[in-house]
Amino acid sequence: MATWTALTTLPGREPAEALGAAMEGMTPAPTGIGVFEMEDGSGRWEVGGYFDGPPDAAALALLAAAFGARPFAVSDLPETDWVAKVRRELAPVQAGRFWLHGAHDAHRVPEGVEPLLVEAAMAFGTGHHGTTLGCLRALDRLVARGEAPGPVADLGCGTAVLAMAAARVWPEVPIYASDIDAVAVEVALANVAANGLAGRVRVLEAAGLDHPELQAAPPFRLVFANILKGPLIELAPAVSAAIAPGGWAILSGLLAEQRDEVTQAWEAAGLTVDGADEIAGWATLCLQKS
């Protein structure tokens, strides 16, 4: 069965969320609705609905007009096992000492690397995206400099690849991985187990540091936050306070043109940029607390 999609964009979070809620009343009703902030710095939000059959074009036109959105772009998608497709097509990724691969490439792991098994799934972080790659490279540089941190937190962990990488190089250090998304938490738990790191990486469902275990763990010696510009700026004061003097933050999920704004927020919170990287238009910051 084909899946039909209807996508539009409009400025502002509140009208976008209101449009998404209004779409729930359509007939036929969508099987799923997504509301996301676009990562191009435009301030626009994308609203999308998924349907088992062709959606009502007139209803979509009325909704777009009512909420000041662009006309919906409607398309049908053939039935595809996307996870299987991605697993076949994603090649292994090397980031410094780390070698990320799917199960289909387990036989190709070279010597002298830290292998991380990360399957394509419904969570962000296979290592192919510039943000994840940039974070891994930043971690590799810290390890090469002889950093031996205390507790490590991976906030917005997705697949937990960054937490698992830290657990590989610092086997005695407490590692925490958290995400606000319940699906991501399930994926992270599965990846941690598949990599033989159960008991080494504590996976939690939480927004930022809003969990008793994360509040009891500081001071952290390293915090990863590979999320988006808005949450990075919002979290800066609280996360900075949870980092030990001399500790580190590795940040990504931001476009290159957003780097200065995020840098200002974290410098105001007491950290200094020690290094920055840009991969395919995405920026990664490595900061140290004075």
Dump pLDDT digits (tens) for 212-268.
999 999 999 999 999 888 999 999 999 999 999 999 999 998 888 999 999 999 999
Retrieve residue 52's tokens: 């088992």
Mean pLDDT over 104-111 rounds to 71
Q: Is the peptide bond before 55 cis (omega within 30 degrees of 0)?
A: no
Q: What is the residue whose two structure tokens read 């008793």?
A: 212
Residue 259: predicted pLDDT: 93
Q: Which residue has the higher pLDDT, 119 or 145?
A: 145
Dump pLDDT digits (tens) for 128-187.
567 888 999 999 999 999 886 889 999 999 889 999 999 999 999 999 999 998 888 998
- DSSP 8-state secondary structure symbol assigned to residue 90: P
E-strand ranges in 56-97 read 73-77, 93-95
When pLDDT is cut at 50, 70 and 90, the band that residue 108 belongs to is confident
Residue 89: predicted pLDDT: 47
Strand pairing of 243-255 and 201-205?
Answer: unpaired
Residue 39: predicted pLDDT: 62
Instruction: Examine the pLDDT at 67 and tell me if it is beyond 50.
Output: yes
When pLDDT is cut at 50, 70 and 90, the band that residue 210 belongs to is very high
Q: Which residue has the higher pLDDT, 147 or 54?
A: 54
> How far is Cα 62 from Cα 66, in angstroms, rounded to an integer?
6
Residue 95: predicted pLDDT: 80
Residue 79: predicted pLDDT: 64
Residue 228: predicted pLDDT: 86
Name residues whose C-beta falls within 8 Å of residue 35's C-beta, 6 or more positions apart in sequence.
Answer: 16, 17, 19, 20, 45, 46, 47
Dump pLDDT digits (tens) for 76-100.
876 655 455 555 545 677 788 888 8
| Helix, strand or coil, per DSSP, at residue 52 | coil
Residue 216: predicted pLDDT: 95
Average pLDDT, the chain: 87
Residue 267: predicted pLDDT: 97
Residue 91: predicted pLDDT: 67
> How far is Cα 137 from Cα 139, in angstroms, rounded to an integer?
5
Point out the least confidently predicted range of 13-22, 82-91, 129-138, 201-210: 82-91
Residue 118: predicted pLDDT: 81
> How far is Cα 246 from Cα 221, in angstroms, rounded to an integer?
8
Instruction: Examine the pLDDT at 123 and tell me if it is beyond 50.
Output: no
- Return the number of other C-beta atoms located less than 10 Å from residue 70's C-beta: 12
Mean pLDDT over 88-116 rounds to 74
Name residues whose C-beta falls within 8 Å of residue 266's C-beta, 6 or more positions apart in sequence.
Answer: 232, 236, 240, 249, 251, 273, 285, 287
Distances (CA, A) of 32 to 51, 156, 184: 7, 23, 18
pTM to 2 decimal places = 0.69
- Find the helix or strand (DSSP H, E) in which 231 lies: helix 229-241
Instruction: Examine the pLDDT at 281 and tell me if it is beyond 90.
Output: no
Q: What is the residue whose two structure tokens read 């939000």?
A: 45
Enumerate domains of the chain plus CATH numbers.
Answer: 3-77 (3.30.70.260), 123-289 (3.40.50.150)
Instruction: Examine the pLDDT at 110 and tell me if it is beyond 90.
Output: no
Point out the least confidently predicted range of 12-16, 41-45, 231-235: 41-45
Residue 40: predicted pLDDT: 62
